[in-house]
Amino acid sequence: MQQLLALIADPTLEDDLGRYADIACSQVEALGDVEATQAPREVCANVGDAADGRAHAIAMLGQWLRDVIPTQPVHPAWVAVRLVWYYRSNLRKADYARIPLALIAARKEIEGWYRVETVRGRKMTFYQRPAPPLDL
């Protein structure tokens, strides 16, 4: 994730990637407009509390997720980059490790907004806004 943040902040780094530039560019493009949907400061500041299972932080994270998850499926990196965007220059390695724990803790808050699939033999989580119910 640190590499994605660096590429978003400085697109000229793509020139240094050589044969991996196309892969990196496609990953950055898949993230979309990060700044427009970045998490508010309060949500970012409470990621650690959500990872520890504190109810207020989990509820706050769940509400933000329901506000930003798009209708097309997105990878957890899509969410994680938005969670750290505001504090990206001050984060330590341990802070990045807390994001998956916080997202797992928030799953009860966003039931039906994610699915787990097996891709190339590995289980992967995808987040997606559920389709609105049909009203006849």
Which tokens hold the place of 105? 């803790």
Task: Please state which of the ranges 42-46, 74-78, 91-95, 112-116 shows the lowest mean pLDDT.
Answer: 91-95
Per-residue model confidence as pLDDT tens digits over 45-85: 899 999 999 999 999 999 999 999 999 999 999 999 999 88
- What pLDDT, on the 0 to 100 scale, is given for residue 87? 78
**High-pLDDT (> 90) share of the chain, %:** 53
**b or e along 105-119 (b: 16 or more beta carbons within 10 Å of the residue's beta carbon)?**
bbeebbeebbeeeee
The 3-state secondary structure of the chain reads CHHHHHHHHCHHHHHHHHHHHHHHHHHHHHHCCCHHHCCCHHHHHCHHHHHCCCHHHHHHHHHHHHHHCCCCCECHHHHHHHHHCCCHHHCCHHHHHHHHHHHHHHHHCCCCCEEEEEECCEEEEEECCCCCCCCC
pLDDT at position 27 is 87
pTM of the complete model: 0.84
**Residue 134: pLDDT over 90:** no
Neighbours of 85 (CB within 10 A): 17
pLDDT band of 136, cuts 50, 70, 90: low
Statement: residue 112 has pLDDT above 90 = yes
Please say if the pLDDT value at position 96 is more than 90.
no
- pLDDT at res. 42: 93
Q: Does 29 have pLDDT greater than 80?
A: yes
